[in-house]
Chain A
Amino acid sequence: GEDVEQSLFLSVREGDSSVINCTYTDSSSTYLYWYKQEPGAGLQLLTYIFSNMDMKQDQRLTVLLNKKDKHLSLRIADTQTGDSAIYFCAEGSGGYNKLIFGAGTRLAVHP
């Protein structure tokens, strides 16, 4: 079945760039998503990319999609302490708007 994989932890220094990586298995994915979960909260959509795009930029966020390798990345420029959270990669290809989520990457930003 479909699977989405991410590394579990990433630690970066404040002001540096963060890159969170994700791989997925379903080549029929229409959209790929990045969600952010702050402590004690639900998930919030950060950005998404349509499967026929290679890159999408939104302020400090850059999403890169390599369809051949089924690899998705999220780059956060000038990472701040407020970016500390869990980031989930998700792919959407099923009916009824179902999403398949990765395990989440916990980003820790230190001074």
Chain B
Amino acid sequence: EDQVTQSPEALRLQEGESSSLNCSYTVSGLRGLFWYRQDPGKGPEFLFTLYSAGEEKEKERLKATLTKKESFLHITAPKPEDSATYLCAGHTQGGSEKLVFGKGTKLTVNP
């Protein structure tokens, strides 16, 4: 069964304190690994897509990386506005466009 697991469930950082979020996946024939940001009361906002092991993508203070079994979202020198829930999703094979989501990591950055 396709599964995506994120850790930790919640993370509190001080402003400027860098860290990483983990997303491990068992998705048959992974076609892509997605990262989203979700603010309270809003829908997920697309951040990155990673397609192959070794690939990296960056956006401001965020960098996403992918291995054959997991993905990391590195946050460098975070600011309070980076506080949100970060969701990881695997895109499965088989002709459908199904995304399998993890439960997310709730990040809080304190000033």
Do chains A and B interact in one complex? Answer: no
A interface residue numbers (CB < 8 A to B): none
B interface residue numbers (CB < 8 A to A): none
